[in-house]
Amino acid sequence: MRRRGFAIAIMLVLIACLSIAPLAWADGFAAVSTTKANAPTDKVSLSAANDAALIDGCSFAVNEFERASKGSNRNIADAYHGYAYYIGSKASTVMYIVTSDSVIVYLDPDAAQKAGFSLSSQDDLANLQSILISLDTGAGGGNALISPDAKWLFTQDKSNEVDGVLYQFAQEIDGSSYNCVIGVDGSDVTQSENAHHVDVSFACFGGLVPAADAQIVAQPSWFESTGQFLSTLDWSPLIVTLKTSLTAIVFIFVLGLAAAYFCLHRSSRVRDIFDTIFTIPMVLPPTVCGFLLLLACGSNTAFGKFFIDIGFPLIFSWQATVIAAVIVAFPLMYRNALGAFDNLDSNMLDAARTLGWSEARIFFKIMLPLSWSSIAAGTVLAFARALGEFGATLFLAGNYLGITRTIPIAIYFEWMNGNTDIAIFWTIVILIFSFIVILFINLWSQHTTRYRKGAVEE
């Protein structure tokens, strides 16, 4: 009986030790520690560029931190090595791969020893976890972050197996270094039909160094960071956008009024045909308009060759941004002007003709003043549409910094390049312009309504 009680006591002690032990062992791992991603990050000091971090009192730090949001699944050096993240020639000493439910962290043994990091220390693991979470959050740029419920695995082996999947770090392939995720059988584990399917999110890498070697530049204040952001920002998209929109609105105003006046005096059948032609750019997707303009104005057409020969190319130039804006925004001006002209009293116009007024005098002295409210609203709407044009401009004019890169194009490419702050700034600028446009239309409509009510009461 005593032996049985003693054995049970030993088993309970072993179970307790295993439950609190900082080290766990798994197939393919020399040393693995598992922990939840809930370590505190408020004690981490981040550099202004979010590329280095340390904790006061901690012997080690991480610097030269970078994040690879996308990898490649193609063959490298004529062989398939799995889903691979390119590292380059930089000697990274701390790297990790993030999946939907785990974070596999590799630590270079020599660098860990020099930095005073111990894989058997739970405090060191928690501190490193806090540092990596803080760096990843700063470098995420609005992209996916590490799940709070992710299981963390730390290892000093370059090749590790977890549930039939190999996580390989610092693999030298064709003169370059990669982090790879591949099935043990060499299969593509990113395919959903694979029995060992894993959802790979992103990878990060940096340097594990002694705390004294980390250069941590203090985070600037909000005012300082805002001033630095605005002083280093390339303002050319705003200049190109305003120059394009202001130039385009002149053509839109004249062509819209001319088209509306032209349709006003046509028979219903002819008017329907031209009305469809003038309105169709508003119905078609902007990319389709841009593609059609590219076909019409390209160097393979006589029309496009003529303008190229005279030194006035119609594609991939600033003129192309104006053309795209005019074509896309023109229907708004045309429809508003045509509606205003249709609402005029035809008897009043005929009376002016009986008095000997010319059509030009009738247009400028009667039609234009009486229709000005709707015309002004159409002009502002057309200006706002030209201001936000993206698809047709990108097709016809391309993305040339300082020449054809407008604000909408800048938002797209800055976001694609990971410059989320710049993309957000230009988005706010567009929102402000849109707010002003809508507010102007509302105020103008209220002013016109009050004016008409006063005229009726009198």
CA angle 211, 213, 215 (to 5 degrees): 95
Q: Give the CA radius of gyration of the chain.
A: 33
The two structure tokens encoding residue 311: 């030194």
pLDDT value of position 437: 82
pLDDT value of position 327: 93
pLDDT value of position 449: 57
Please check whether residue 151 is in contact with residue 34, taking contact to mean a CB–CB distance below 8 angstroms.
yes
Per-residue pLDDT of the chain (458 residues; tens, 9 = 90+): 444 554 444 444 444 443 333 333 344 443 444 444 445 566 888 887 788 899 988 999 999 899 888 899 999 988 999 999 998 766 689 999 999 889 999 999 999 999 999 988 988 999 999 999 988 888 876 678 888 888 999 999 999 999 899 999 999 988 889 999 999 999 999 999 999 999 999 999 999 999 888 877 666 777 777 887 888 889 999 999 999 999 999 999 999 999 999 998 888 889 999 999 999 998 899 989 999 988 888 778 888 888 877 877 788 889 899 999 999 999 999 999 999 998 888 888 889 888 889 888 999 999 988 888 888 888 988 998 999 899 999 989 999 988 999 999 999 999 888 788 899 999 999 999 888 888 887 787 676 655 455 544 54
Residue keyed to tokens 């490193």: 128
The two structure tokens encoding residue 11: 């088993």
Ordered by where they begin, the domains of the chain are 21-219 (no CATH), 228-457 (1.10.3720.10)
pLDDT value of position 393: 92
List, edge to edge, every strand of the sheet that includes 83-88: 83-88, 176-183, 165-173, 159-162
Q: Which helix (H) or strand (E) holds 35?
A: strand 34-36
CA 183 to chain centre: 32
- What distance in Å separates the CA atoms of residue 112 and residue 108, rounded to the nearest whole number? 6
pLDDT value of position 376: 87
- What distance in Å separates the CA atoms of residue 371 and residue 42, rounded to the nearest whole number? 62
The two structure tokens encoding residue 351: 């009376």
